[in-house]
């Protein structure tokens, strides 16, 4: 598989989204402070949504006749998103996730463009929907951090 192929971009996006899922779940468990309840619930809603998106993305990749395989080590070594900051304040957790969703936005915008060039309406539609969801999530996180 070519490094910059659509399939490679989808594989990289899967690592990004899985990394955000993992981080969001950790922040759900570890958030503290006066906004604990609302952030604990927000993070749970977000990682639940990501879990479904991860499965859909993996199945999309399989639909393109590509194998889906990676490890937590692959995610940890991916430069796209930073590590979980368990000792972070609630504000820092929110800002960290905003940065990660910015990475996801860029990845899925590139996938939309690449899929459109290939006239692949299925991938274009999937990536557009994901991009819409990530922009909304980023807005919610930024608003919670304000």
Provide the domain limits for residue 88.
6-145
Tell me, yes or no, whether 24 lies in a domain.
yes
Alpha-carbon distances of 114 from 36, 52, 100, 119, 132, rounded to whole Å: 40, 23, 21, 9, 17
pLDDT level of residue 70 (50, 70, 90 thresholds): confident
Euclidean distance between CA atoms 145 and 101, whole angstroms: 14
What is the arithmetic mean of pLDDT over 107-122? 96
CB 84 within 8 A of CB 22: yes
Distance of CA 46 to the CA centre of its chain: 10
What is the arithmetic mean of pLDDT over 116-137? 96
Q: Is the pTM of this model over 0.75?
A: yes
Tell me, yes or no, whether 69 lies in a domain.
yes
Give pLDDT, residue 78: 66
Q: What DSSP line would sit under 71-114, residue for residue?
A: -HHHHHH-SSS----TT--HHHHHHHHHHHHHHHHHHHHHHHHH
Tally of domains in the chain = 1
Give pLDDT, residue 1: 54
pLDDT level of residue 135 (50, 70, 90 thresholds): very high
Give pLDDT, residue 85: 87
Give pLDDT, residue 119: 96
Q: What is the CATH number of the domain that holds 59?
A: 1.20.1260.10
Tell me, yes or no, whether 1 lies in a domain.
no
Quote the Cα angle for 14-19-22, to 5°.
125
């Amino acid at each position: 598989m070519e490094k910059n192929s659509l399939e490679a971009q989808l594989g990289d996006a899967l690592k990004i989204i899985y990394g955000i899922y993992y981080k969001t779940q950790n922040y759900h468990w570890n958030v503290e402070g006066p906004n604990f309840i609302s952030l604990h619930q927000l993070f749970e809603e977000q990682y639940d949504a990501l879990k479904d998106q991860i499965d859909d993305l993996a199945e999309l990749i399989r639909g393109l006749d590509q194998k889906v395989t990676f490890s937590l080590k692959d995610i940890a070594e991916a430069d796209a998103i930073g590590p979980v900051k368990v000792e972070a304040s609630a504000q820092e957790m929110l800002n960290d996730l905003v940065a990660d969703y910015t990475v996801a936005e860029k990845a899925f915008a590139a996938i939309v463009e690449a899929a459109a060039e290939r006239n692949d309406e299925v991938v274009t539609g999937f990536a557009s929907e994901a991009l819409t969801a990530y922009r909304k999530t980023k807005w919610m996180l930024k608003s919670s951090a304000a």
